[in-house]
Amino acid sequence: MNNIIRTAIAALAIGGAATGNAALFNVSASANSSSGGVGLNTGIALSANQVFSVTAAPDDLWSAGALPRWSNADGLVANLFATGSDESGELMNTLIGTNFGLWNQNGLSAPYGALIGELGGTYFLLGTSFSGPAPVGGTLSLYYWDSNKGDNSGSILADVRVESQAVPEPIALSLVSLGLLGVGVTHRKRT
């Protein structure tokens, strides 16, 4: 098989894969607080508009301090009651979380206690379920959105998945055409 065909097939195999890359990150409400903490650097580099997703279990909880400040990655947006077996350690049906409104920081207004992503200085809400294009290019960092890390506790697991970037169809077809052209050129030289 000649080199042009190998190149075309390799390009299609690399770009055409539908599988993505995934990694789990333990995001701390204190260490990774947007106020006094440091964002958790995932080491995942994304280009602008590259599709990725971040999910966190809705029953995985962290806290912004004294009751009622427990929430999941969506933040302190509604009343939340203890299950008796959750991270709060409170008795079943105890009010452990409530709506605390929005925290404004770094050009973003988002619920206290929410999971936030940052790329190239741009902050955006992730919550328990985000899927979409990267707003800008950069390395993804994860934050607990809060005004004071001093009394925060707990952590959540964030599942980050990056979609493979497929070779756009016109480019893929061009590569195949080049490969076929290469076969024709090779065939004519031999006759």
Strand order in the sheet with 122-125: 40-46, 138-144, 115-119, 122-125
Q: For the chain of 191 residues, list the mean pLDDT of each consecutive stretch of 10.
A: 38 36 96 98 97 98 98 98 97 98 98 98 98 98 97 98 66 46 49 52
Query: In this predicted structure, what is the pLDDT of residue 130?
Result: 98
Rama region for 65: left / alpha / beta (φ>0; ψ in -120 to 50; rest): left
Instruction: Give Cβ neighbours of residue 36 (< 8 Å, ≥ 6 apart).
Output: 148, 149, 150
The per-residue pLDDT for 183 is: 45
**110 forms bridges with which residues in the sheet?**
103
Residue 6, pLDDT score: 37
pLDDT value of residue 191: 52
73 exposure class (CB count in 10 Å sphere: 0-12, 13-18, 19+): buried
pLDDT of residue 143: 98
Which pLDDT value is given to residue 189?
52
- Predicted local confidence at residue 86, as pLDDT: 97
Its CATH architecture, for the domain 18-58+102-165, is Sandwich (2.60)
Q: Which residue has the tokens 């409170």?
A: 90
At residue 1, the pLDDT reads 37
Residue 191: both structure tokens together: 């006759």
Question: What residue segments make up the domains of the chain, in order of their start?
Answer: 1-17+166-191, 18-58+102-165
Q: What's residue 169's pLDDT?
A: 47
Structure tokens at 189: 């030289």
Q: Do residues 168 and 12 make contact, with C-beta atoms less than 8 angstroms apart? A: no
Phi and psi for 179 in degrees, rounded to 5?
-65, -45
pLDDT reported for residue 181: 46
